[in-house]
Structure 1
Amino acid sequence: MQRLGLIAVGNYAHYIPCLNKRAFGITEERYFLSLQSKTSVLVYRFQFLPWFFYFRLIVSCLTKANGEWTVLEDNGLCLYKNVACFAYKEHIVALAVNNSSIQLQIFQPTNVLVLKEVALNVRDTVEGLFQEHLENFHKKIDMYIVGYQCRNQEVFHEHDDCFVEEKAIYKKGKIRCPRHGMVNHHVLSESDLLVYWKRDVIAEISDFNDLMDQDECTRLSEPELKKMNFKSFEKLTKIGRDALQLYFDRIFPPVDLVTTLNSNKDNLQRGQYKMNQDQCTLLFPADNSIPTSSTFDVTIMYKLLRNFGQNLLPPTNGWGKKPEIGQKLPKDDVERIRIYRNEVEHKTQTTNVMEKDDFDLKWRDLSQAILRLSNGSLKQDIMSLRRLR
């Protein structure tokens, strides 16, 4: 069985996938459905798929997979008869087999952003193992199609009526779902389905005018519209703070953050990078609890990124300077969030208005910065704002 790739031999125990009768139950389903940060479901649809091909894939994930995958544990190994769950770089990788497909989905259990590089690496690993096992195999098994679930996004279920080929979506922007053209009609977004799985696909938001509430606009006077513009933009800067936190957590994971703060404590409390008393209270809690970025404001995160972010090149125009519209490095977006937040904070009660042209320009600039820093995970937050002009 080892020669056939159907058993994973360990130091203290062996695993034989074909003998595993453990069901993936409703409790497990509910847990995965509760996670907000996840990719779309990547589907490999086969013309002919014997389950032992899936068993060999799982064995390879256990014994190969760059040596970086470990089986997820929760009162035992999270290995089931048709689903296998792995831990990889603080993410959960779920692989499931069904009648005609192998499905892949990645989750971030702490609900921070799923890292695109993680998803791309996982896809490369899985497809590399596919090719390894397909060599010298039955000619029909190498005939698989790559696609996605168009709606459900449940890795543990095969939704045959929701399978859409990748080539039907890739480079198409937004299209009518080719599987649901009448009663169940809906629109597919390339960025929603492919953003984590294709390197050249980035998250986008709908066209600005599509999100305007024109009926509301006609009921407001010009001064009222200007005030509404300001209020909407103020809310957008708060989403900008959330995007900055997602980026901050990638640069300073919790363990690294504590190490950085403790090694620079004197500098932060009294020295070159001195924070005020309120900021120091958040960085060094009196009860010796672990500081968390969820309590940090834009200023704290900006200062730590600027002064202690290892191997971070400065923004295109340098730290403290406003980026141009076409400058889209992550550090440029960090500066945008700081600068626009400051503009809103420094407005007085008599000047909390925004002209239409100013609002349009700044909204586009900041919203795209948020999408880039968050890899699109805050798209719905942006779209939920009532944007008036």
Structure 2
Amino acid sequence: MRVFVIAGEPSGDKLGGALMAGLKSLVPEISFTGIGGVHMEEEGLGSRFPMEELSVMGIAEILPKYRELKRRIRETAEAILAEAPDVVISIDSPDFCLRVHKIVKATRPAQKVVHYVAPSVWAWRAGRAAKMAKTVDHVLALLPFEPPYMEAAGMSCDFVGHPVVTEPRATAEEAAAFRETHMIGPNQPLVLCLPGSRKSEVARLGARFDEALMQLRDREPGLRVVVPTVRGVSKFVRQMTARWPVAPIVVEASEDKRAAFAAADLALAASGTVSLELAANRTPMVIAYDASRITWHIVWNMMKIDTVTLVNLVSDTRQVPEFLGPNCQPRLISEKLLQLLEDREARAGQIAAMELTMQRLGEGGDPPGLRAARSVLGFLDRA
């Protein structure tokens, strides 16, 4: 069996590596070619060019590289047509991958194409599914409610589980050691502050998050704050938090971040998949987010849902409070954080929603990479 696989982002590379491992366990005689990163290379992929060439976002970032990206799209499509693999599997990065598929399908309509990660048409821009269906035959979905949307557009689709269920978590001993290292008493409240992974998000939300936590500290004088960050914005985060009246603990290493998530009593986070990481650690949370007035107006009017938090969506509850757009105000946020610290019933309601979320995402079952591999093979058997 010959598989051509494409990933353009680090998150897609992790999904691809797990999928490749699953396929190898089920089909010993299998070969891979395509584009990927370190995780996929560890499973035997020789990437045709560095995956990082595709890891660009936004008009300002893409325009200077447009010609190069267009050349890579053509090269990738030509490689697929030359090799005639049994299946092409693309992972996220739809702007690149769907352009590749369009060229391939124009020449070879019968080429089997699978795409891993369904577009969030349940939230906004429903037309993306119909656009994808022109060149994609089968979809691997991360969320349990996504298959009907893909099937309605004309593709087959399987829910294969979310990778958060297999992410390593800190032990109770590691969490206790984190508190001890940073001289945080066992009864001292510890709050995670997660203002985003992009500089623009951190710049927009950082001051408001700090103000909300300062107001909370007025009611909880022993409060400690930890800010997990990532390499791309670490320097900016450290510069920003150095100006805060009470400097937080800033952590960047993966093991420190895992320990902080497990040790925390509460989290204030920007909206995004971080809510699932918090749910995996059963850490109660408040979600807050804002954008420019124009952007917020456009996006909010396009939204088809009444919550942006995946824990609320997957559990079909509204246990996680949100302060979005005009409501992203420190006073409102701090009041809700205080309630979650003091109200056992509110905490218990969130934790129950997190338990249900993780169960529905596949916790305790077969790993998503193996489930994805079975879905690919099942699709090929039916095709």
**TM-score between the two structures when normalised by the length of structure 1:** 0.31
From the CA coordinates, give the structure whose radius of gyration is larger: 1
Question: More helix per residue: 1 or 2?
Answer: 2
**TM-score between the two structures when normalised by the length of structure 2:** 0.32
